[in-house]
Structure 1
Amino acid sequence: MRNITINGRKLSVGDDLTIIEAAKQSGITIPSLCYLEGIHQFGSCRICVVEVEGAKSLMPSCMTKVSEGMVIHTNSPRVRRARKVLYELLLSDHSKDCLSCKRNQSCELQQLGKTLGVEETRFEGKRSDCTVDTSVAITRDISKCVLCRRCVTACSEIQGVGIIGAQKRGFNTVISPALGLPMGDVNCAMCGQCTVVCPVGALKETDSIQKVWAALGDRTKRVVVQTAPA
C-alpha cells in the first residue's frame, strides 16, 4: 500500500495504481478523454493532468503511478488553466457541426467542455483535411477525430485485430488503417468496438435506416432481423 494525499485527503491505496485509478477509488473525479479503464493507456489527450508537489511539470494522471508520500492536486488553478488550453486546442481542429452530429448531447467532448467551464475558443487556424470513409458497417469522419487513440486500443487490445493506428506525423496525424486505406479494404472484423469507445462522432455505425425502410416497404421481400453478437 502507498500513503498519498489528494486534494488534502490522506489516502492509503494500492501499490500499482495510477493517480487517476487511486482518485477514482476514493471518489475523486479527474476529467479525462483518452482514458479507458483497465486497458493500456496512451496518455495522448493530457486532459487528466494533475499537479504533483515536487514535480516540475504537470503529470498525466492516467500514466503516472502513485508513490509513497505523493501529494497531488487535481483541481488547482494551474491545472484548470492547463486543461482549458488543452481543450481549446483540441476544439480548434474539430468539426463545428455539433447540431447535426449523431453524438450531439451524448458527446464526451461536449460534456468535457461543460465540466471545464470552457465558454469560448481562442485558437483558430488551419484545419485538417475533412475525409469521410464509409464501409459496410463503420463510417469514419476524420474532421471529428480528437486523436485520443481509444479506437486503436480497442482494436488491438480488446479485439486483437489491430487494423487501425496513427498514420503520418504532427499536425497531419490521422487515425486510420495502414497506408490510408479505406476501412472496407482492410481485414476489419466489423465488430464495432471502435465505435463504442469513440468519445465523439469520428467513428459510428454506418446508417442503413433508409435501406431498411425501403426493404420493409417492398412487398416482394421477406425481411429478417438479426442481432449482432458484438
Structure 2
Amino acid sequence: MIISIDKDLCTGCRECSKVCPVDAIEGDQGKPQQINTDKCILCGQCIQTCKSYASIIDEGFEFIENKRDERNLPKSVKEPIFAAFNVCDVERVKKAISNPNLITMVQCAPAVRVAIAEEFGYDLGYLTPGKMAAALRKLNFDKVYDTNFAADLTIMEEGSELIKRVTEGGKLPMFTSCCPAWVKFLEENYPKLTDHLSSCKSPQQMEGAMIKTYGAQINNIDASKIYSVSIMPCTCKKFECDREEMNSSGYKDVDVVLTTRELGYLIKDMKIDFSNLKEEKFDSPLGTYSGAGTIFGVTGGVMEAAIRTGYELITKESIPNVEVVQVRGEDGFRQSIIKVGKLNLRVGVVSGLKNVIPLLEKLNCKELELDFIEVMTCPVGCVSGGGQPKLLLEEYKKTAYENRIKATYAHDSNLEIRKSHENPDIQKIYDEFLGEPLGEKSHHLLHTKYAITKEVVK
C-alpha cells in the first residue's frame, strides 16, 4: 500500500475522513480507521491532516524505532511518527545513487521548490529552486533536470490537442490529465467519460520518457543504465509511475518517486547543509523552463499556461496580457469565457476533487457546455499536495498555501520567458527529436490511453 493508517497509532479522531475527497476512510469514532482501497485515490490529504502520533512517554523509544524500521525511514529522521503515512522510498534512491553501474537522473516538480525549504526552517512558501538544484547535485545525481521543462512540453501537446478538438469537432469538454489522483478517480468511477481526458501523459511521465530517449541520445548514454528519479509534491505520483503503460521509452519511464518530505529526509540523511548551499541551475536542455511551466504547481496554472500558448497558436498574435487572472483562484469551481481571436473558449477550473462530481453528473446528462476543464484533486493545486511538508495547525496551513501560491506566481513573473512555446529548448527538442506536436513520435512517447479497472493493485 502506498498510503496506510497504522492501527497501533490511530486514535479514531476521524479528522482524516473530513479531508478525504472520496470518503475512503472508514471506522467508528474513537476506534482505529482503515482505508477502503476500492475508493482511495492516493491523494495523501489524510497524511497531511493526521495528528495521531507515537509518544515516547506512552509507547517508549523502542516502539518508535521499530515503527521507523517498519516504514523504511532513514535513521536520521527524528520527526514524530504519525498514524497516516506513505511508503518511503529513500533507501531505494540511496542505493541507486551509490551504484556505479547506474546513471542517475532526477526531475523536480514545480511545487517542490516553494516547499522544500520549509523542511530546513525557512519561512513557509520560501522559493528555493537554486538551492534545491544544488542539493540534488550534492546527493550525487548525474543529471539534475526539471519537470517544469515537461510542463512546457505538456502545453505544446495538450494545447495542440485542445485546438484540434475545438476546431475539428473532437470530444468536449476536454479535461486535463496532469493530476494522477483525478485520473484514477475518473477511470474507476466514471469510466465512460475517460475519453474526455486529454491523452497527454502528466509532466512527470513526459519528462521520464524524454530522459530515457532524448536524454540518453544527447548524453550518449545507454538508456538501460539510466535510473530516473522524480521529486513530487504528490503521493499518487508513486502510483502513476508504476502504471504498466508508462514505459514508452522502452523501459520504465520513471523508476521511483520521492515526495517533497522524502527529499528532505534524504538531504538530512546525507548530511547536506541545505541552508549554506550556493544556488545552482538545472541541467539543460531538459531542465530549461518558462514561467508557464512553473505555474503548473497552483490551481488554474495549467489552464493559464495553455491559454498563453493556445491564444498565440490560434491567432498568430501576441496575447494582450500574459497573466490570465480570471482562471486563478482556490478551492472550488470557476468558469470563464476567454476570447481567442474569433473563438469564445469556454473554460472551467476545479480544485478539490469533490467539486468535480457535480460537473461529471452534468456531463453524463449532456448539460455541460464547456470546452476545456482543469481538474486538481488537492485544495489549491499541487502546492497543497499530500507529499508536501506536513502542517499541523490550520493557521500554518492557510499561510503556507498562500505563500506557496504567491512564490509560484512571483517566480513566473520574474522569468524572462513566460510562454511554453517560447522556451528555446522546447523548440529545440521538436526540431531535433520529436518533429511536431501530436506527430507520430510525440504521440508514441508523450500520450497514452487512460482506462484502468478497480482490480489495479493499489
TM over 0.5, shorter chain: no
Q: Which structure is higher in RCO with an 8 Å CA cutoff and minimum separation 6? A: 2
Using the size of structure 1 for normalisation, the TM-score is: 0.32
* Structure number with higher strand proportion: 1
Using the size of structure 2 for normalisation, the TM-score is: 0.17
